[in-house]
């Protein structure tokens, strides 16, 4: 039977988490860093804005010159220069002076506010100001967004487009990130063939090849795809070879107790199987081992079981290897009908949700790929529950949020 007693989902996740190593880091161009994980704090090398600048098109002035201005009592100033974006003026704004200025241009010395075009009349060099300004009005001050020497973004952040902008504004065009884990997918099964319209006899299409490539990609890691027959020596050679060039291996098949199910035994020979069998459904025959310091995640051969095992048992670990720590992402939805479950086992029921309601699919068995395609979430029924009643709120994991 199983090599160890069935363990609980939480215990399985804990055991795996304790055995993982974070990948090493690498420096990459900042423009390639979307969805990479920052491996070092970023301290700004620059102020942003780099200089105090006009936030509007208008005229740079001394605010105090305008304190009593109104349409009935306009102030008259002399325009002494003009500054376009990207240009600098060496003019100094003295009492009674103004400098025409474009949005984004550096505020000239002496000025402390910008009056918008709407509130002035210009005639030749004479400017008539019809409203009063407070000091700082329509000015973006040097360093008000980012200050040189300050922490602007922390190690461990999964970088979003706007994070790249702030790192650039801090003066960096490269960034230090965790290397994407290289994950070997090793599908076992002598009966498996690649898809074609002419499969014969007892051949079965190797669909896990495709599901797992997508799954690993949806964990932001880099998969390679491999296949081996159900032969202990060949499986052993393959695992040893793949471990040289990969950070982890995900196998499918060979975890049950049929004749020819050899994967768990081979891993036990090569290293250590930390557990075999988890009290979950589907996906019970999941096993986890360590070989030469690298994790081997052993999934079922059945497509649905393998998918659930990946989502529940493997995904979080591939994320952790990149130092990604996502918050739990279950949401509460209303069950459209009663779902029985067994105490002591966690059930992951393929279901479809739209709005607040979630409908469990009417399909059993690990062979029904259709149920993976028709569902968009799992209803999670924890081990301490005997099921969910119709109309009851239940925990739902949306595929779209789990996967990226």
Residues 62-121 that bind its own copies (CB under 8 A): 84-88, 102-106
DSSP annotation of 49 reads S
Shortest distance, position 327 Cβ to its own copies, whole Å? 9
**Upstream peptide bond of 80 is cis (omega within 30 degrees of 0):** no
389 lines the binding site for its own copies (CB under 8 A): no
Shortest distance, position 241 Cβ to its own copies, whole Å? 21
Shortest distance, position 122 Cβ to its own copies, whole Å? 13
Shortest distance, position 73 Cβ to its own copies, whole Å? 28
Distance CA 309, CA 297 (A): 9
Closest by alpha carbon to 350, among 329, 321, 371, 330? Answer: 371
Distance CA 73, CA 219 (A): 66
181 lines the binding site for its own copies (CB under 8 A): no
Cβ-contact 57, 117 below 8 angstroms? yes
Strands (E), 84-231: 97-101, 113-116, 120-123, 126-129, 139-140, 151-153, 174-178, 182-188, 192-193, 204-205, 222-228
Site for its own copies in 216-245 (CB under 8 A): 217-218, 225, 230
SS3 264: helix
Cβ-contact 104, 85 below 8 angstroms? yes
Q: Which of 334, 369, 383, 387 binds its own copies (CB under 8 A)?
A: 369
Residue 88 phi, psi (nearest 5): -120, 140
Span from 45-53, 65-73, 274-282, 291-299 in contact with its own copies (CB under 8 A) = 45-53
| Identity of the residue, 116 or 290, whose beta carbon is nearer to its own copies in the bound complex | 116
Cβ-contact 297, 212 below 8 angstroms? no
Q: Which of 204, 272, 292, 344 binds its own copies (CB under 8 A)?
A: 204
328 lines the binding site for its own copies (CB under 8 A): no
Cβ atoms < 10 Å from Cβ of 364 = 11
Span from 153-161, 286-294, 312-320, 385-393 in contact with its own copies (CB under 8 A) = 153-161
Strands (E), 42-119: 42-43, 53-54, 58-61, 75-83, 97-101, 113-116
Size of the site for its own copies (CB under 8 A): 91
Site for its own copies in 4-43 (CB under 8 A): 30-31, 34-35
| Identity of the residue, 8 or 155, whose beta carbon is nearer to its own copies in the bound complex | 155
> Binding string, 294-313, against its own copies, x = CB under 8 A?
-------x-x---x------
Q: Which of 93, 212, 243, 267 binds its own copies (CB under 8 A)?
A: 212
């Amino acid at each position: 039977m199983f090599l160890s007693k069935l363990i609980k989902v939480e215990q399985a996740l804990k055991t795996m988490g304790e055995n993982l190593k974070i990948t090493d880091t690498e420096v990459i161009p900042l423009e390639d860093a979307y969805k990479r994980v920052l491996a070092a704090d970023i301290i700004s090398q620059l102020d942003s804005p780099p200089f105090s600048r006009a936030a509007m098109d208008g005229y740079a002035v001394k605010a105090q010159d305008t304190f009593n201005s109104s349409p009935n009592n306009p102030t008259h100033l002399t325009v002494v220069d003009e500054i376009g974006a990207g240009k600098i003026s060496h003019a100094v704004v003295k009492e009674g002076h103004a400098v025409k200025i474009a949005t984004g241009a550096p505020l000239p010395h002496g000025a402390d506010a910008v009056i918008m075009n709407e509130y002035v009349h210009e005639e030749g060099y004479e400017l008539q100001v019809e409203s009063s300004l407070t000091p700082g009005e329509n000015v973006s001050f040097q360093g008000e967004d980012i200050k040189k020497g300050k922490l602007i973004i922390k190690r461990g952040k999964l970088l979003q487009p706007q994070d790249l902008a702030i790192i650039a504004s801090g003066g960096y065009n490269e960034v230090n990130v965790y290397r994407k884990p290289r994950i070997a997918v090793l599908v076992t099964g002598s009966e498996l063939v690649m898809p074609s319209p002419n499969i014969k006899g007892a051949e079965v299409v190797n669909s896990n090849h495709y599901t797992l490539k997508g799954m690993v990609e949806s964990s932001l890691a880099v998969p390679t795809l491999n296949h081996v027959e159900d032969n202990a020596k060949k499986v052993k050679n393959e695992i040893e070879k793949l471990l040289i060039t990969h950070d982890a291996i995900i196998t499918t098949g060979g975890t049950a107790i049929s004749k020819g199910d050899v994967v768990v035994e081979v891993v036990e020979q090569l290293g250590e199987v930390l557990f075999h069998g988890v009290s979950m459904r589907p996906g019970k025959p999941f096993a986890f081992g360590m070989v030469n310091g690298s994790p081997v995640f052993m999934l079922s051969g059945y497509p649905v079981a393998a998918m659930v095992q990946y989502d529940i048992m493997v995904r979080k670990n591939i994320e952790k290897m990149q130092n990604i720590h996502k918050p739990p992402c279950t949401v509460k939805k209303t069950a459209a009908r009663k779902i029985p479950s067994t105490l002591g086992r966690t059930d992951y029921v393929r279901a479809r949700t739209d709005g607040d309601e979630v409908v469990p699919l009417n399909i059993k068995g690990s062979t029904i790929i259709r149920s993976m395609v028709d569902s968009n979430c799992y209803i999670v029924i924890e081990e301490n529950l005997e099921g969910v009643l119709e109309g009851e709120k239940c925990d739902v994991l949306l595929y779209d949020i789990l996967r990226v």
